[in-house]
A and B are shown apart, each in its own frame.
Chain A
Amino acid sequence: MAIFSTVMYVDDDAEDRMLFADAVKAIDGEYHLEMASDGLDALSMLKNPGAHLPSLLIVDLNMPGMGGLELIRSLKTDSRLADLPTIVFTTSGSSTDRQECARYGVEMHTKPLTFGELKQSVQKLLAYIKN
């Protein structure tokens, strides 16, 4: 079972969650995907002591309740989660958001506009997983 890396994708948009999963499937990625619908949801999953930590956390920025940056900030205060590899994947293309992410040492990728591009993006994102 442990041969597949676990990737947690946090996004409030159900369509985006579906598209992400489709894209992973389309590129024949053998990953174990965990989905969370917002920051709080993700945090409670990650803080569960029995949970197996994902190899990569992909987070949307604009989410109701707890947004992406807020989630990242919370992770940094938890020694177990502080070093979790995290990437922001958002609709925003704004350099201000990019800068904001950089402050937390997190890279920001913009969600693409075609499914073809999305597949390329997902490939890029998953490449962050350390083998």
Chain B
Amino acid sequence: MENNGASFERRDIFELLLESGKAIGSEIELENLVQKVTDIATGITGAKFGAFFYNVVNSSGEKYVLYTISGVPREAFSKFPMPRNTKIFDPTFQGHGTIRYDDVTSQPHYGQSAPYHGMPKGHLPVRSYLAAPVIAPGTGEVIGGLFFGHPEVGVFTERSEQLLEGIAAQAAIAMGNAKLFEEKRAAEARQKELSQQYESIFRAASDSIIIYDENGYIQEANPAASRIHGYGYEELLRMHAGMLFKNPEDFTVLKEIAFSGRQYQGVNERIKKDGTVFTAHFVGYQFIFRGKLHVLSMVRDNNSLQVQDALKRSEEFAQIITTVSPTALWMTDHNGNNIYVNQTWLDWIGGSLADHTGGGWLHAVHPDDRGPVDAQFKAVFNQRKVFNQDFRIIRRTGEVRWCSTYGTPYFSQDGSFGGFAGSLTDITERKQAEESLAGQNALINTITNNTQQAIFLLDERQFCTYMNPAAEAMTGYTLAALHEKPLHYHLRHTYPDGRHFPIEESDIDKAFATKKQIKGEGMFIRKNGDYFPVAFIASPIIRNGVAVGTLLESRDITEEKRLQQEVQIQQEKAMAYLEQKVKERTAELELMNDELLQFTSIASHDLKEPVRKVSIFSSRLKEMGLVDDPVFNQYLDNIQRSSQRIVRLIDDLLEFSRLSHTAVNTSLVDLNACIARIIYDLELAIGEKQATIEVGVLPNVEGVVHQLQQVFQNLIQNSLKFSFPERPLRISIKAEQEGNMHVITYEDNGIGFRPEYGDKIFKVFERLHGKEKYEGTGIGLAIVKKIIDRHKGSVAAIGKEGEGAQFIIRLPAT
């Protein structure tokens, strides 16, 4: 019975596990799986509740623990940190086999773990405890733990233990499967995401991306490819990639490089659908696409903004572009039958692609050119040579236009001949320009052949490539004689003084280097070795911003130079004559001045001396009082007055003339001291007139002491002279500074003068008053003005008749 019982139990366990195995094995979603494992295990072990803690690794590689609960609502454990790291759970998480306690609270390590030391408050009551690790087969890694409890003691049996171990093993296998499934699903999602990303990059890229096959036919293209090349997506998929190249040979080469497994990159010219040629920066490399070798070719979008801008413009504008676009494209098969023309050609000629395939395109060629074009094409086609010819086509409008075509053979990867592909450019304007150029050339020739100006054309090596007849006549050379070295070494190899003249020092040749016109003069050497002077203009010839040569115009200026020299000599002669005359005259004047000074010097002494004696002796006579006759004494006075006048006149004239001729040394002059000295000198006269002189604080000025003294002496003497006999004379001298000038105001209350005489008063011998009434020479104020002028100052006189005179003297402040 016991055996039977035991075998029954074993069969029972086996069947139960078989059931659970089916249930667990059918589940591939991890979350469902663990719940199912927990539920089944809780049921068949007889537990009141159970939990399954299992390790998970997320996509970022972080490990964490999840759990499921069975038998009680999840909330019953939600208050506690899960799993609780306790001494009870440890052996299970470490994989130490199944653990079963009849009463967990009686275990020695129960209640040892902080912070609760036993079950925390609110925990479900557990007495019976059963736990088993879930261990991954193969690796032995503990991937989780199954824990069960019951509030009563001794509920779990050995059977419970065996069942749990079986379920744990089944769970481990199922979880491994679920994990693999999960990984596969994640990988698929990643793959999908990746290809979506590639797709978006491909579509969003602003660079043109084109994938073409081993024959060069485009298999895939992104929107940028359409935008940059001007073809629609569908159009591109029908096209040969070589059509996008201005020179189809470029494409052939690049394709070969790519298929040899190397990456290619560089710059070349591409043609858009509208015929526009643009410079493309490109990269290309071998690429597996749809399982076969392809080439992925990228062209950098150099001016996407510009393109967008262009796209924004009206369709009409686009139409104009295609109409005036100079480039049409064509392509033949290996038999020479046309298989493709681009939209530009169709826009020009009209009709559809079908009308131009085969030999249809020839109908567009002008009847006169058709035969020769056809013959030429066939000839080069058979020889696989370049097809390059100008001919006329008739547009659908009936207009005849000149075209130039350029086509070359293309080959497939296996080396077999694919056909010819090429472009066709409208060159009508160029032809017209050429014709008009021919006319212009005739005109230019007429000018250059007839002008007296020597004209040379120099190439970039400074070699002469053209000279006009005037140039030949001037130099004695013909063009043929100038071919072996730069023109400089024919015409300017040596300076007139015999030194070598290297081309680097030549101003003419700098026009080319500096790209600037240079004008100048210099010496040229004739074929016979003679030097002659020239005036020249060297102008750089600039094409597309690059200097390609020099236009040299020059003119023999021998005669001009001779005339110039003659004029100069004449001028110099005239100047020398003039200088000589001036010298002579100056010497004469100097002599005259010296004589004059000598004269005045003699006059001052020798003329004065006798007059003074007349005066002094007549005064003595009168003093002696020998004759008591009033008339006699009156006559003596007359003699005296006249002789005194002569003396003063001589003194003043002398002074005045010396002012102009004598060089003087200046110093800082104290005007206060000057006035004091004058007052001292004139003490007597001042006393006689009962005059009072008020002197303010006067400045120091730069000047000649005795001259400045003379100024105030003359003024004071003037005041003394022209005063009212019945009115005490008052003189005031004040000064103030105005900017950089001292303004000295001299004022008296004498007889004054009429305001309109303000200027006249300073002239020599200008007398405002009769000499009978007032003594004086009429030179005093002229001297004042002259001295002040010589001190870089000014003097003005303001008069009021009967009230007084005012003199305003301005002198520079030091």
Chain A residues engaging chain B, CB cutoff 8 angstroms: 13, 15, 19, 61-62, 91-96, 98-99, 102, 111-116, 118, 120
Chain B residues closer than 8 Å to A120, beta-carbon distance = 684
Chain B residues closer than 8 Å to A98, beta-carbon distance = 706
Contact check, A93 vs B619: say whether CB atoms are below 8 A apart.
no
Known A114-B615, A116-B623, A120-B684; contact A94-B644, beta-carbon cutoff 8 A: no
Q: Say yes or no for B613: interface residue by CB 8 A criterion.
A: yes
Known A62-B605, A94-B654; contact A99-B706, beta-carbon cutoff 8 A: yes
Q: How far is the CA of A113 from the CA of B642 in the complex (A)?
A: 11
Contact check, B605 vs A115: say whether CB atoms are below 8 A apart.
no
Q: How far is the CA of A113 from the CA of B616 in the complex (A)?
A: 5
Contact check, B684 vs A19: say whether CB atoms are below 8 A apart.
no
Closest residue of chain B to A100 (Cβ to Cβ) is B706
Chain A residues closer than 8 Å to B643, beta-carbon distance = 113
Report the minimum CB–CB distance from B714 to chain A (whole Å): 11
Q: Say yes or no for B679: interface residue by CB 8 A criterion.
A: no
User: Which residues B336-377 have CB closer than 8 A to chain A?
Assistant: none
Q: How far is the CA of A98 from the CA of B654 in the complex (A)?
A: 14
Q: Say yes or no for B475: interface residue by CB 8 A criterion.
A: no
Report the minimum CB–CB distance from A107 to chain B (whole Å): 10
For this complex, 28 residue pairs linking A to B, each with C-beta atoms less than 8 Å apart, are A15-B613, A92-B608, A93-B651, A94-B651, A94-B658, A95-B655, A95-B707, A96-B706, A98-B706, A99-B664, A99-B704, A99-B705, A99-B706, A102-B705, A102-B706, A113-B615, A113-B616, A113-B619, A113-B643, A113-B644, A113-B647, A114-B615, A114-B644, A115-B619, A115-B620, A115-B623, A116-B623, A118-B616
| A-B interface, 7 closest residue pairs, ranked by CB to CB distance from nearest | A114-B619, A93-B651, A95-B706, A113-B615, A115-B620, A115-B619, A62-B605
Chain B residues closer than 8 Å to A61, beta-carbon distance = 605
Closest residue of chain B to A118 (Cβ to Cβ) is B616
Contact check, B609 vs A91: say whether CB atoms are below 8 A apart.
yes
Q: Say yes or no for B740: interface residue by CB 8 A criterion.
A: no
Known A92-B604, A94-B651; contact A112-B658, beta-carbon cutoff 8 A: no
Q: Say yes or no for B247: interface residue by CB 8 A criterion.
A: no
Q: How far is the CA of A118 from the CA of B609 in the complex (A)?
A: 15
Contact check, B612 vs A91: say whether CB atoms are below 8 A apart.
yes
User: How many residues belonging to B are interface residues under a CB distance threshold of 8 Å?
Assistant: 28
Interface string of B596-630 (1 = CB under 8 A from A): 00000000110011001101100110010000000
Contact check, A111 vs B612: say whether CB atoms are below 8 A apart.
yes
Q: Say yes or no for B640: interface residue by CB 8 A criterion.
A: yes
Contact check, A114 vs B640: say whether CB atoms are below 8 A apart.
yes
Chain B residues closer than 8 Å to A116, beta-carbon distance = 619, 623
Known A15-B613, A113-B644; contact A91-B619, beta-carbon cutoff 8 A: no
Further 7 A-B residue pairs, CB within 8 A, beyond A94-B655, A95-B655: A61-B605, A91-B605, A94-B604, A95-B710, A99-B706, A113-B616, A118-B616
Q: How far is the CA of A62 from the CA of B603 in the complex (A)?
A: 12
Q: How far is the CA of A13 from the CA of B647 in the complex (A)?
A: 18
Most buried by B among A92, A93, A112: A93
Chain B residues closer than 8 Å to A113, beta-carbon distance = 612, 615-616, 619, 640, 643-644, 647
Q: Say yes or no for B662: interface residue by CB 8 A criterion.
A: yes
Q: How far is the CA of A111 from the CA of B613 in the complex (A)?
A: 10
Chain B residues closer than 8 Å to A13, beta-carbon distance = 609
Chain A residues closer than 8 Å to B684, beta-carbon distance = 120
Q: How far is the CA of A111 from the CA of B651 in the complex (A)?
A: 12
Q: How far is the CA of A49 from the CA of B615 in the complex (A)?
A: 41
Report the minimum CB–CB distance from A76 to chain B (whole Å): 20
User: Which residues B679-715 have CB closer than 8 A to chain A?
Assistant: 684, 704-707, 709-710
Chain A residues closer than 8 Å to B655, beta-carbon distance = 93-95
Closest residue of chain B to A112 (Cβ to Cβ) is B616
Chain A residues closer than 8 Å to B704, beta-carbon distance = 99
Q: How far is the CA of A96 from the CA of B613 in the complex (A)?
A: 23
Interface string of B627-664 (1 = CB under 8 A from A): 00000000000001001100100010011001000101
Most buried by A among B620, B664, B706: B706
Chain A residues closer than 8 Å to B608, beta-carbon distance = 91-92
Q: How far is the CA of A99 from the CA of B704 in the complex (A)?
A: 9
Q: How far is the CA of A115 from the CA of B613 in the complex (A)?
A: 10
